[in-house]
Chain A
Amino acid sequence: MTKPKALFLFALLVGGCLLLSGCAAIGTATPIGWSAPVMDDDVIYVGTTEGKVVSYTLFSEPRVAAEWWRFPLRGELGLGGGGGGGGFLACMPTAAAVMYSTPFVADGAVYIGAYDGRVYALNTSSRVAGYSFPQESEGEWVYPEEDSIGAIVGSPVVAEGILYIGSADGNLYAIDIVTSELAWDSPFATGDDIWATPLVHDGVVYIGSFDHKIYAIDAADGTLVWESPFQTDGAIAATPLFYNNTIYIGSFDRKFYAVDTSTGKAKEGFIPFPAGNWFWGRAVAYDDTIIVGCVDGRVYALDAETGERKWSFPELDEGPVGPIRGDPALAGEVVIFGSDDGKVYALDAASGHLIWDYPHGEDRFGPIRASLYAGDGEVYVHDTRNHYIYALGVEHGNVLWSVSTAE
């Protein structure tokens, strides 16, 4: 082979390698979403990976879920179909209506934030009737009406007629759900992206930011409650847990903290618990024990006063399961986690013993990154890879029903 020919083939080889591995890398960087299902009055609401908010009515006999209404977030606004693809060129990710947000349901309305930087308020009656969006007279709106705020990864929380939501532009927004206008003079600005869901308790909003800080903000006027925000050594993407006048929260610095809500300082006597990787999910409290999942593939149960480890699953001398990102569900004495290894684990909240896991054997769901929701003896799991919602029995982990979220 002559030298120019060899060089030519080599150039083609390099280009091919770069294109293939580049597109593969971009493929993994395409947003998919991990919206979790919630139930309200026998109706389940979820954001699908196709960019739609879907509701399912649950029937008792037989136990089945039937689709009630389905709403494409961006399609109705003439912004394209939503689910991804397209962009400048075919393999580029776009700001499609991908949802990491879990819907918040209140008084017949469903609120959800989308990764494209918009917050939507949907009215159930209008969506069932299939009216055009937004039906302002029915309390429907989109915020902002034009353009967008930064990407939304956390979920909205509604309290006292105000919706609170964080954005990747570093601001915490408070939106009046009646007028769809800002409830504060201006959004509360933190030093970096907000990916966490706010916690509202007793007129105070608690929120973590990528600037390593936890803020306590007056829910009515948006002023800072703590003079010096609590700071960790890593970004914070987890939602805080309020328990016994204490905020419990984990950070990307691989530590789990307890913060005194009255002073904003580290809780006295609680030693920050070190784990093997990031904390991203919210903790749950059970009988003075704080139980939290970690991206290192373990669930830790900590003493609420001292931070001492009571148990972990799997035990430290065993190998971990897959990374745990989402929030757990607490159903009575059972705490249930979804893992990136495609399995759901139910543990005894007191001892950490495994009660059941599902699926069994080599079968797996897709990575479970969405938070779990427990209600009425069932736990709901959103498998975003296979586009299914599964209802597992809390007692035995058997599949009670399942429904495809794909159209």
Chain B
Amino acid sequence: MSRNRLIIILVAGALVILFLTYGLIDTWNLILLRPILNFLILLSNVFFGNFGLAIIALVIIVRLVMTPLTLKQLHSTRAMHTLQPKMKELQKKYAKDKDKLKQEIAKLYKESGVSPMGCLGPMLLQLPIWIALYRSILHVAAATPEALLGLSNDLYSWSAIHQAVPLDPNFLWLNLTQPDVPPTGYFILPILVAASMYVLQKMSTVPSTDPQQQSMSKMMIWMMPLMFGFFTLMFPSGLALFWVVSTIVGIVTQYFITGWGSLFVRAPAPAPQVAEEQRMETPEGALLEDQLATERVEQQERVAHGKSRDKRKDRRRSRRAGARKTRRKP
């Protein structure tokens, strides 16, 4: 048994024992909510009682701690994307033999060293931490007397923590316990949340010529920012501040991995289905598609780093690629 698998089994076992002993909610509070919440209060002490700065610092720290998971997720996403042409080829080849298709896909994953859970696994692992983080921000904000009374039960018995509570909710123009909407707010945070999430979504989306994938990506690019922008209208601005900072850190991380990605790149025109099918039917066509996909990824990297090539060169190359694509159209 590998060391990683042993660690996973031990952690899972410990969690099961905790769930059985304390119940689901108490275990959640014990291992995630209370540590984050108390750390947040300590951080605000460090920042002279400034709750806003404490939230910003906490988000950056948690993001840094989770960097390995984030990197793994980003690399897996990219690796999965580069396999798409080969996947399509296999799907066409074994369209009538599902079992064989599964075997071949598994073989492809194994040969390429890519795990299909590589994208979702780290995301799923991070989800409880993010939810605990934002629940603790809401909890510490203690907008009402009832909430403050409830908070008293989750504090560690350290003097520094009890001295700091209740925290001052004012930060810049914001009352962190209230949403940034009129009459007390100005809609600035909802706009910031939506805009920053749009940028991140756009950067992290890999362009595709598959119409289905394109429409899905398009929906994701708009849906997430709109959804979170809408949440920001309802939730306390402490939480919105957390989302903005977290997204900005995400943008910086993404920049160092893929550069600006698709942010300044127009989505390629979807290839007609029939032509694509015809192309994929021949080994030459599949090979050509593979080359194109590789070229697209390379182009993204060039745009991202943009160190050795100037923009005019890139534009010329894009035009050439576009012309090639146009020529290939029937």
In contact, A4 and B217 (Cβ under 8 angstroms): yes
Minimum distance in angstroms from B143 CB to a CB of chain A: 5
Number of interface residues of A (CB under 8 A): 51
In contact, B212 and A278 (Cβ under 8 angstroms): no
> A11-B224, A17-B131, A234-B162 are known contacts. Are A4 and B216 too (CB-CB below 8 A)?
yes
In contact, B149 and A25 (Cβ under 8 angstroms): no
What interface size band does chain B fall in? Answer: 35 or more
* Distance A280 CA – B148 CA, assembled complex (angstroms): 11
* Distance A8 CA – B215 CA, assembled complex (angstroms): 11
| Chain A, Cβ-Cβ closest to B208 | A4
Contacts of B231 in A (CB 8 A): 15, 18-19, 22
In contact, B149 and A323 (Cβ under 8 angstroms): yes
Q: List 22 A-B contacts (CB under 8 A).
A: A2-B212, A3-B119, A4-B220, A6-B120, A7-B119, A7-B216, A8-B219, A10-B120, A11-B227, A17-B131, A18-B131, A22-B234, A22-B239, A23-B234, A25-B135, A29-B143, A29-B147, A32-B146, A91-B234, A234-B165, A252-B152, A252-B162
Let me know if B21 is at the binding interface, CB within 8 A: no
* Distance A100 CA – B134 CA, assembled complex (angstroms): 28
Let me know if B179 is at the binding interface, CB within 8 A: yes
Minimum distance in angstroms from A153 CB to a CB of chain B: 6
Other than the given A4-B217, A22-B235, A193-B166, 9 more pairs (CB < 8 A) read A4-B212, A6-B120, A15-B224, A29-B143, A195-B145, A212-B163, A234-B163, A280-B149, A369-B149
In contact, B162 and A254 (Cβ under 8 angstroms): yes
Interface string of A332-375 (1 = CB under 8 A from B): 00000000100000000000000000000000000001000000
Minimum distance in angstroms from A269 CB to a CB of chain B: 24
Let me know if A131 is at the binding interface, CB within 8 A: no
In contact, A11 and B179 (Cβ under 8 angstroms): no
In contact, A22 and B152 (Cβ under 8 angstroms): no
In contact, A4 and B213 (Cβ under 8 angstroms): yes
| From A4, A91, A210, A277, residue with most partner B Cβ within 10 Å | A4
| From B217, B219, B234, residue with most partner A Cβ within 10 Å | B234
| Chain B, Cβ-Cβ closest to A193 | B166
| Chain A, Cβ-Cβ closest to B147 | A29
> A21-B135, A22-B138, A31-B144 are known contacts. Are A7 and B166 too (CB-CB below 8 A)?
no
The 8 Å CB contact of B153, one of A26, A30, A323, is: A323
* Distance A288 CA – B320 CA, assembled complex (angstroms): 95
Contacts of A280 in B (CB 8 A): 149
Contacts of A26 in B (CB 8 A): 138, 234-236
| Chain A, Cβ-Cβ closest to B136 | A25
Contacts of B172 in A (CB 8 A): none
Which A residues contact B (CB, under 8 angstroms)?
2-8, 10-11, 14-15, 17-19, 21-23, 25-26, 28-32, 34, 88-89, 91-93, 100, 153, 193, 195, 210, 212, 233-235, 252-254, 276-278, 280, 295, 323, 325, 340, 369
Contacts of B236 in A (CB 8 A): 26, 29
Interface of B is mostly: helix
The 8 Å CB contact of B223, one of A6, A11, A93, is: A11
Contacts of B163 in A (CB 8 A): 212, 233-234, 253
Let me know if B308 is at the binding interface, CB within 8 A: no
Contacts of A22 in B (CB 8 A): 134, 138, 231, 234-235, 239
* Distance A210 CA – B135 CA, assembled complex (angstroms): 24
In contact, A5 and B143 (Cβ under 8 angstroms): no
* Distance A229 CA – B231 CA, assembled complex (angstroms): 44
| From B135, B144, B236, residue with most partner A Cβ within 10 Å | B144
Let me know if B8 is at the binding interface, CB within 8 A: no
Contacts of B150 in A (CB 8 A): 28
| From A25, A193, A234, residue with most partner B Cβ within 10 Å | A25
Let me know if B127 is at the binding interface, CB within 8 A: yes
In contact, A88 and B181 (Cβ under 8 angstroms): yes
* Distance A191 CA – B162 CA, assembled complex (angstroms): 18
In contact, A235 and B149 (Cβ under 8 angstroms): no
In contact, B216 and A235 (Cβ under 8 angstroms): no
Minimum distance in angstroms from A223 CB to a CB of chain B: 27
In contact, A100 and B145 (Cβ under 8 angstroms): yes
* Distance A321 CA – B166 CA, assembled complex (angstroms): 24
Contacts of B224 in A (CB 8 A): 11, 15
In contact, A31 and B216 (Cβ under 8 angstroms): no
Contacts of A14 in B (CB 8 A): 127
Let me know if B233 is at the binding interface, CB within 8 A: yes
* Distance A113 CA – B231 CA, assembled complex (angstroms): 32
Minimum distance in angstroms from B63 CB to a CB of chain A: 16
The 5 A-B pairs at the shortest CB distance, nearest first, are namely: A4-B216, A25-B138, A31-B144, A29-B147, A29-B143
Minimum distance in angstroms from A161 CB to a CB of chain B: 30
Let me know if B123 is at the binding interface, CB within 8 A: yes
> A25-B138, A28-B147 are known contacts. Are A15 and B227 too (CB-CB below 8 A)?
yes
| Chain B, Cβ-Cβ closest to A325 | B149
In contact, B233 and A88 (Cβ under 8 angstroms): yes
* Distance A252 CA – B234 CA, assembled complex (angstroms): 30
Minimum distance in angstroms from A253 CB to a CB of chain B: 6
Contacts of A254 in B (CB 8 A): 157, 162
